[in-house]
Amino acid sequence: MQAQQKAINSCFLYCNGLMDHICTCQPTDPRNPWYKRPIQFSGTLDAFVQISKAEGVTSLWSGLSPTLVLSIPATICYFVTYEQLRLKLKAAHNKGKVYPESITQPFWIPLASGATARVLSVTVVNPLELIRTKMQSQKLSYLELGEALRNLVRTDGVIGLWRGIFPTLLRDVPFSAIYWLSYESIKSIWKCDHPSVWQSFIGGFISGSIAATLTVPFDVVKTHQQIEFGTELLNEQGKPIARKARTTTNIFRDIYNQHGIRGFYTGLTPRLIKVAPACAIMISSFEYGKVFFNRLANQKEFNLSSES
């Protein structure tokens, strides 16, 4: 829905629930018949209905496998970094305190931990995402991919592997900071350091909704920049496109001039439908995993002490 504001005939932004992907397509390619019947959506429900009719219900889960290849290591890196950093900052803040009731966690700890964890995970995954995008858009073999990456490094330097990382950080870092601040605040209100699965699910859903709503303008800008990045990929394939990539500031200004404030909240409903349940599922799984493995470790320690 966000991409409908920006009609570019050479690439599409494809979102499948966990991550966003660039798909470069040619209108004359017989392997892309769906391109010849573009669909305009009037709303979220209309999008579900029309996509299901045109491509089948299973298409709503298309592209899940390649998404998991990137999302699983990225998510592991993200959650582990956040938890370890939060615990270390909390320990440093409460150094010297003896009584449990005197131990506190100020708001800046989850804020800083969430932002730092997201910066690290995005930095690690961005080169992999660039490689995947090049392989899919230019249909490169692994040997050709190696040559393409060497050319990229020669042209732009090693920093070229992190091309396009700024708009991703612009959206994901504030989202992560707001999300963890909201979630830890909810845990504090409920007075539970070890929430149940349902408590963490509800807390994650609420926190994800808050963060998604506050950061949707950055998501809209990132969508526009991803589409423009797709046109640059086609340009690299020797198919010139008369369009110059705009800066983030220019995109903000153009969206405001063309659509006003409402333009920054295009696609808010589908973003909430995607993000809030995903946050709820991930955080409840994370909290359950912590409890499960802590019990497992304690049980092993108890067994060892009993044997001795």
Residue 211 confidence (pLDDT) = 95
Task: Record the tokens describing residue 146, joined without a space.
Answer: 């190696």
Residue 165 confidence (pLDDT) = 83
How far does Cα 151 stand from its chain's mean position?
28
pTM: 0.74
- E-strand ranges in the chain read 11-15, 20-24
Identify the three-state secondary structure at position 23: strand
CATH of the domain at 129: 1.50.40
Q: How many domains does the chain have?
A: 1
For Cα atoms 171, 23, 27, give the angle at the middle one, nearest 5 degrees. Answer: 135
Report d(CA 104, CA 91) in Å as an integer.
9
Digitized pLDDT (tens) for each residue of the chain, 308 residues in all: 554 444 444 554 445 444 554 454 554 455 554 445 556 666 667 777 887 888 787 777 766 666 677 788 888 889 999 999 999 999 999 998 888 788 889 999 999 999 999 999 999 888 877 776 666 556 656 666 677 777 777 877 888 778 778 878 888 999 999 999 999 999 999 988 889 999 999 999 999 999 999 999 888 887 777 666 555 555 555 454 445 556 778 888 888 888 888 888 888 888 899 899 999 999 999 999 988 988 888 888 878 777 76
Sequence-distant (≥ 6) Cβ neighbours of residue 221 within 8 angstroms: 167, 170, 171, 248, 251, 252, 255
Q: Which of 254, 251, 253, 234 is nearest to 242 (CA)?
A: 234
Residue 265 confidence (pLDDT) = 86
Report d(CA 173, CA 163) in Å as an integer.
17
Q: Which residues form the domain of 26? A: 3-307
Residue 228 confidence (pLDDT) = 66
